[in-house]
A and B are shown apart, each in its own frame.
Chain A
Amino acid sequence: MSAANTFSEHRWLPPLVGLGTFGLILLAVQLLIRAGAINRYIVPLPSDVAASFWRVITEEDILHRFLSTAWECLAAGVLLTVFGIAIGVTMHRTPLLRLACENWVGAMASAPLVLAYPLFLVLFGRSALTIIMMSFIVGLAPVILKTIEGLSATRRVLIDVGRSFKLTPAQQFRKILLPSALPTIFVGVRLGLMFALINVVALEFLINFGGLGQLINDLAERYDLPGVYAAICFVVLVSVVFFVATERAERWMKSAG
């Protein structure tokens, strides 16, 4: 009633409250550390963290590291898109295969695949290849599932239209099934890319190789506490930007499709 009116009139209020709360927490932490209530060797001063942002960016070769991470993501992304769609299409075309294997792909999607990374370390060594292959495998399942889902959900009437025009199966696929399935497939690719990014950074951290993930590991081993916090913030920022970008792309796809 009247509360709802106030709400819609002041649309800037909620984001302000959210941001404000966050700011207040930082302020509280700053004061508590200053007062000695929180150990400054465990939680650095927020002001120190803010200061080390610039230091981390300039001294730690952040652009190079970012590109390193980005390239690993890209490689994994291309692989999971190509193979994911290919496998998905194959499974859709071969009902027998789909009958047997779709559940497996589903299980794969819910399994903690990344835990097999020591295996990949053995196979590919401590290298970018390990990271790329591992992230590729992790992001594969959603793409396959969404490809199958998208193709299967093609409205019956559209298929019938194609048949009435006597399209060959190949034409049917190219001109009707694929375009109709594209938005759903894109959702799968987006999920796969997100998983890939998360795992790329996680693995860089775990095996101490690569770009941004390794940066955090480095700084942690050097006990550069403000630096660690700053680097974590930076990585989170990159992750959020990536998420928002892919979300926008997906929305654009949905409206265009």
Chain B
Amino acid sequence: MPVHAAAPPILAVEAITMRFGAAEDGLTALDNVTFDVAPGEFLAVIGPSGCGKSTLFNIVGGLLSGHQGRVAVAGATVSGPHAAIGMVFQEESTFPWRNVVDNVAFPLEIAGVPRRERIERARHFVSMVGLDGFERRYPAELSGGMRQRVSMARTLAFEPKILLMDEPFAALDEQTRLLLGDKVLQIQQQLKQTMLLITHNITEAVQLADRILVLTYRPGRVKRVVDIRLPRPRTSEIVSSEAFGRYVAQIWSDLREEASRGLSDDEARVRNAGEFGA
């Protein structure tokens, strides 16, 4: 997989700084975050809770503004939801009033694709995430993992150049995660899809990514970039390899420091609230 690609990066994140609130007692969520994603690359951004991961997700996706720095897709600055960026959200985002195939066909419907064609194209993506036969079911009838697959298929139907995912498997159990991780790898392989994954799960990041960006605790800065030189194509079996274990250990040692800072910060906040009588 091209890591030191000759081709220009498809996604360029340049010096993103995000502050909330007034200058003095405001919150700096992200500080000077810069990175590139090459076409076809799988980049994972990992960090402790409170490192501004979701803020980064929303900024890159064009749903959040008011930041310094810029995000560019194939050279063009992102200033709102972009046709080349598809987002998969952490929370349940399937439309409960639509069945699976209508959910997946949604972006095509927005684009004005006629009904017959969009149903056909939607079916293709439903099949890609392994939900054949469930086209007419409603999200309420599906499991959490299946619903996230529907969300993913829906975003794939948008045919974005970059797939942006914010901890899509956070609500699922470990085993389901690993299996869905396999699915994601398959899809990436098939579509040569560029993917940017935001996660807090180290195993997930190492399993899926070509490169991993480790962010510090608030304010989020790029602490380290780790190249994952595990073979491709990969499956979830890779988790048992030695190399895998080494990468996880390496990243954890970076992350641990940040995560502890986050923990003590939380404790301090609760302690202070108690003293002044919440």
Residues of chain A having any CB pair with chain B under 8 Å: 1-2, 5
Contacts and interface: CB of A to CB of B under 8 A. Distances in A.
Interface string B50-81: 00000000000000001000000000000000
Nearest to A4: B21
Nearest to B20: A1
Interface of B is mostly: loop
B54 to A, nearest CB: 15
Interface residues of B, number: 4
A5 B21 CA distance: 8
Nearest to A2: B21
Contacts of B22: 5
A5 B20 CA distance: 11
Interface in B207-222: none
A1 B22 CA distance: 10
B211 to A, nearest CB: 32
Contacts of B66: 1
Contacts of A2: 21
Nearest to A5: B21
B19 to A, nearest CB: 10
6 contacts: A1-B20, A1-B21, A1-B66, A2-B21, A5-B21, A5-B22
A1 B66 CA distance: 10
Contacts of B21: 1-2, 5
Nearest to B64: A1
Interface in B1-33: 20-22
Nearest to A1: B20
A76 to B, nearest CB: 43
B239 to A, nearest CB: 40
B36 to A, nearest CB: 28
Nearest to B21: A5
A2 B21 CA distance: 6
A2 B20 CA distance: 8
A1 B27 CA distance: 11
